[in-house]
Amino acid sequence: MKKRLIYSICGLICSMSIFASTLQQTEFIHAETALKKQVKAIIENGDTIALYELPTVWVYPPMKFKNKREEKFYWRTVRDVKKTLPLSKYIKEVIIATNDTLMMLPTKRERDKYMRGFEKRIYKQEYGRMSKLTLRQGMLLIRLVDRECDATSYELIKAYRGAFTAGFYQMFAKMFGASLKTEYGSHKDDATIERIINLVESGQL
């Protein structure tokens, strides 16, 4: 039952966007790789001088935990962010690609036909990855989608599939304690999650 919930929530989010024949999960660029890709040079007085654009380094005060349980919760959150953040970025990328594709289709009938065909493909191809998410990770992914896309999962589904479909999946999600209308920043631990995201993206965590 848990897998069905995650599949319905996360699979439907992914179904709002175009799916390339080969998917590659977003990968973080570590500091060393970033340096290699961003090296520039200038010539000054006949000498070639390399210019390095250093990656952002985040400085936070050390985490303080009241007990082992709180520490365990933090590191579980780190694990969940690392697993769901690339998915949220992927969803953003494919939504942008979907908009470009739909704009090239001249009629609503063609756009609807395209989306129906795409939904069948995405369900088949993405089920394995999405079904591996836990309920906690699925709920976190919903929040990260809002962070990346500046729109809740409910709003995105409504825009691509209509109010009825969005309402149906929202009702289904509520049965399991989730909500597609959840906004990033509405939870008390979102500040900690933002800290984790910054450290992960900079290669510090």
CA–CA separation, 119 vs 111, rounded Å? Answer: 12
Copy the structure tokens of residue 160.
Answer: 């691509």
What percentage of residues in the chain have a pLDDT greater than 90?
19
Contact in structure between 139 and 182 (CB atoms under 8 Å): yes
Does residue 110 lie in a domain region?
yes
Tokens 């910054």 sit at which residue?
198
Instruction: For residue range 78-122, list pLDDT tens digits in order.
Output: 999 999 999 888 888 877 877 788 888 888 888 878 877 777 777
Does residue 62 lie in a domain region?
no
In this prediction, residue 22 carries a pLDDT of 28
Does residue 112 lie in a domain region?
yes
Q: How far is CA 125 from the centre of its chain?
A: 18
Q: How many domains does the chain have?
A: 1
Please give the residue range of the domain that contains residue 22: 2-29+71-201
Does residue 64 lie in a domain region?
no
Copy the structure tokens of residue 3.
Answer: 């897998």
In this prediction, residue 76 carries a pLDDT of 94
| Residue of 167, 150, 169 whose CA lies nearest to 13 | 169
User: Which amino acid, 60?
Assistant: Y
Does residue 59 lie in a domain region?
no
Copy the structure tokens of residue 140.
Answer: 């976190």
Does residue 9 lie in a domain region?
yes
| First-to-final CA distance of the chain | 33
At 49, which helix (H) or strand (E)? strand 47-51
Contact in structure between 16 and 156 (CB atoms under 8 Å): yes
Does residue 61 lie in a domain region?
no
Contact in structure between 57 and 48 (CB atoms under 8 Å): no
Which range has the top average pLDDT, 23-32, 141-150, 172-181?
141-150
Number of residues assigned to the chain = 205
CA–CA separation, 108 vs 114, rounded Å? Answer: 10
In this prediction, residue 10 carries a pLDDT of 53
Strand-pair partners of 48: 43
Does residue 197 lie in a domain region?
yes
Instruction: For residue range 164-195, list pLDDT tens digits in order.
Output: 888 888 888 888 788 889 999 888 889 999 99
Q: Give the contacts of 102 (CB within 8 A, at least 6 positions apart).
A: 111, 114, 115
| Residue of 181, 77, 95, 71 whose CA lies nearest to 134 | 77
Q: What is the DSSP letter of 179?
A: -
When pLDDT is cut at 50, 70 and 90, the band that residue 11 belongs to is low
